[in-house]
Amino acid sequence: MAYFEVNGVSKSFGSNRVLRGVDFSMEKGEVVSIIGSSGSGKTTLLRCITQLEQADEGRILVEGEPVFDAAETKRLSKEEKRRRQLNFGLVFQQFNLFPQYSVLDNLMLAPRLRAKKEPDFSKRREELLAEIKEKARAILEQVGLTEKAKQYPCELSGGQQQRVAIARALMLSPKILCFDEPTSALDPELTGEVLQVLKNLAKEHITMMIVTHEMKFAREVSDKVVFMADGVIAEEGDPETLFQNPRSPRLKAFLANTTL
């Protein structure tokens, strides 16, 4: 049994069958990069995993527990859905920070609201909130933004904003952290700082799925690379093999058009 499994996930938008039975699995602490040309369904796959979209078919399991099952007929409560969703974190291409909150408050908003659901919240209020603040400070340090804690997103560069977004996702300690082209909205000179943060997380064995066009990065940090084409996984393997000896003509063509 793998740590994380996606079984036969399909998704259509109208008559456009975007995912056509995606099967995929990874182990705890692994880093998997997903590559593929635009429109191949990478974003849709991440959105189905993080349950921003509901897949039409298939199952998603974390540690053997189903977190999504298209065949499930029983209606889940909203809270149960959120609980399952929280197995995953998602970092967006466009950061999507909350503009009206300071960096620190962006990190603390969700954990504080979640903490209210703790049965002993009223008793341990101060303690819980202090823990959250401490964690936020530690994570900010990890992404190198300690001095920016009190600033607002609009005062930061794109690279800094994306690092805040990563920190915000880490606050809820997701089992699997997903990234959708985290550097694609950045100026080229700002991608390095974000990729460095990802490398550091990889060293700490945070389980990550990263959709990326940064081939050099994918090759360096990934335990596994997955190539998507037309809504299926066309080829997968360890980075050296995949980049050196692509088997399918499609991957060969894709790599030929990409600068390493």
Partner 1 sequence: MAEFWSSLVAFFERLSGQFPIVFQALNSGFLQTLKLFAVTLLGAIPLGLIIAFGSMSRFAPLKGLTRFVVWIVRGSPLMIQLLIVYYFPGMVLKNNWWGSGETGRFLAASFAFIINYACYFSEIYRSGIQAVPVGQQEAGQVLGLTGGQIFFRVKLLQMIKHIVPPMTNEIITLVKDTSLARIIALQEVIWAGQAFMKGRSGISGELWPLFFTAVYYLVFSGLLTVLFSRLEKKLSYFRT
Ligand X SMILES: Nc1ncnc2c1ncn2[C@@H]1O[C@H](COP(=O)(O)OP(=O)(O)O)[C@@H](O)[C@H]1O
Residues numbered 89 to 128 that lie near ligand X (CB under 6 A) are none
- Rounded alpha-carbon distances, angstroms, from residue 232 to 3, 11, 19, 206, 236: 21, 11, 6, 25, 11
Quote the tokens at residue 111.
Answer: 């954990």
Instruction: Write the CB contacts of 134 (distance below 8 Å, at least 6 apart in sequence).
Output: none
Please give the residues from 222 up to 241 whose contact with ligand X meets the rule CB under 6 A. Answer: none
> Both tokens of residue 22?
């995606």
Which of the listed partners (partner 1, ligand X, Mg ion, none) does 11 bind, with a CB threshold of 5 to 8 Å by partner kind? none
Partner whose binding site includes residue 39, from ligand X, Mg ion, partner 1, none (CB under 5 to 8 Å by kind): ligand X
Q: Does 183 bind ligand X (CB under 6 A)?
A: no
In sequence order, what are the residues at sequence separation of 6 or more whose Cβ sits closer than 8 angstroms to the Cβ of residue 141? none
Distance, in Å, from the CA atom of 87 to the CA atom of 89, rounded to the nearest integer, reads 7
Nearer to ligand X, 42 or 163 (CB): 42
Q: In what order do the strands lie in the sheet with 224-229?
A: 88-91, 176-180, 208-211, 31-35, 224-229, 232-237
**Binding range to ligand X, per CB under 6 A, among 13-21, 59-67, 164-172, 217-225:** 13-21
Give the x-and-dash track for 85-114 against Mg ion (CB under 5 A): ------------------------------
Q: Which of residues 36-55 bind ligand X (CB under 6 A)?
A: 36, 38-44
The residue sitting closest to Mg ion, measured at its beta carbon, is 43
Residue 18: which residues within 8 A CB-CB, separation 6 or more?
11, 12, 41, 44, 231
Q: Judged by CB, which is closer to ligand X: 20, or 112? A: 20
Name the minimum Å distance from CB 111 to partner 1. Answer: 9
Residue ranges in contact with ligand X by CB under 6 A: 13, 16, 18, 36, 38-44
